[in-house]
Amino acid sequence: MKIIIKTINSEFSLNYNQTFTSVNNCKIRRKLIPELQKSLAPKFRPLVMQLMKWLNSIYKSRRATARMRNSGKLPKNLYRVHANNRQNDKKLRRIKAAKELFRKNDPNITDYDKESLLRMLTDRTFHSPEMSDTDEKDRSKTVVNVYDLSWRSAELKHLFRNVLDSKLASSTTAQLQQKRNYSDEIQRC
């Protein structure tokens, strides 16, 4: 999709300094979606909603990069930027799952204080760092290595992996695309 967007005329470029739903970006999207459909037409016929989701996903990543570039904080390689975005997405997914489980009075989560747990989930330091790497068996695929923090209790690991993350896997239609490998040691380059 990113390659196809690069081949389309630059007048259809979204403005990453504005929100995805801004008036200017909405006008551009109205012109861009038919162009994308024409480009994909011989083999694929995605729905407008699917194209919107793809564009929103690409936009989200590029906006984060553009904001860092504008502030002068953009590092030489974007590895850390992507890792931070993944960790933030994980945080938001877990908060959503916890709220849903509290709403349904799930027995796995009723032992926890709702306010304390949600406050803890909003703190990024509680979420494991995720580093992407190429799969050793198949070099064309990437895997995400999830490194546990040494101070984490077994109960917290169980809550995150087996309760919140499994709730997300069963309730969302968009599954995680990359395989997760869990490890208790952080490997630094």
Q: What is the pLDDT of residue 32?
A: 87
- DSSP letter at 133 equals E
Q: Please, are residues 129 and 186 in contact by the beta-carbon 8 Å criterion?
A: yes
**Percentage of the chain lying above the pLDDT 90 cut:** 0
Compute the distance between CA of residue 184 and CA of residue 128 in angstroms, rounded to an integer: 10
Name the domain boundary from 52, 71, 90: 71
Residue 67 sits in the same domain as residue 159: no
Residue 122 sits in the same domain as residue 148: yes
Compute the distance between CA of residue 65 and CA of residue 67 in angstroms, rounded to an integer: 5
Confidence of residue 20 (pLDDT cuts 50, 70, 90): confident
Q: What's the pLDDT tens digit per position in 62-103?
A: 887 788 777 777 665 566 666 677 777 878 888 888 898 899
Q: What is the pLDDT of residue 188?
A: 42
Q: What is the pLDDT of residue 37?
A: 87
Residue scoring higher pLDDT (81 or 46)? 46
Q: Is there a domain that residue 140 lies in?
A: yes
Q: Is there a domain that residue 101 lies in?
A: yes
Compute the distance between CA of residue 86 and CA of residue 92 in angstroms, rounded to an integer: 10
Compute the distance between CA of residue 16 and CA of residue 59 in angstroms, rounded to an integer: 7
Q: What is the pLDDT of residue 146?
A: 64
Report the mean per-residue pLDDT for the chain.
75
Residue scoring higher pLDDT (146 or 51)? 51
Position 151 pLDDT exceeds 60: no
Residue 17 sits in the same domain as residue 67: yes
Q: Please, are residues 146 and 176 in contact by the beta-carbon 8 Å criterion?
A: no
How many domains are there within the chain? 2
Residue 126 sits in the same domain as residue 89: yes
Residue 130 sits in the same domain as residue 66: no
Name the domain boundary from 71, 92, 120: 71
Confidence of residue 189 (pLDDT cuts 50, 70, 90): very low
Compute the distance between CA of residue 85 and CA of residue 89 in angstroms, rounded to an integer: 6
What is the average per-residue pLDDT within 113-125?
81
Residue 7 sits in the same domain as residue 35: yes
Q: Is there a domain that residue 57 lies in?
A: yes
Q: Is there a domain that residue 188 lies in?
A: no
Compute the distance between CA of residue 120 and CA of residue 130 in angstroms, rounded to an integer: 19
Residue 94 sits in the same domain as residue 165: yes
Residue 109 sits in the same domain as residue 172: yes
- State the residue range of the domain holding 140: 79-183
Compute the distance between CA of residue 101 and CA of residue 36 in angstroms, rounded to an integer: 39
Name the domain boundary from 71, 91, 115: 71
Confidence of residue 172 (pLDDT cuts 50, 70, 90): low
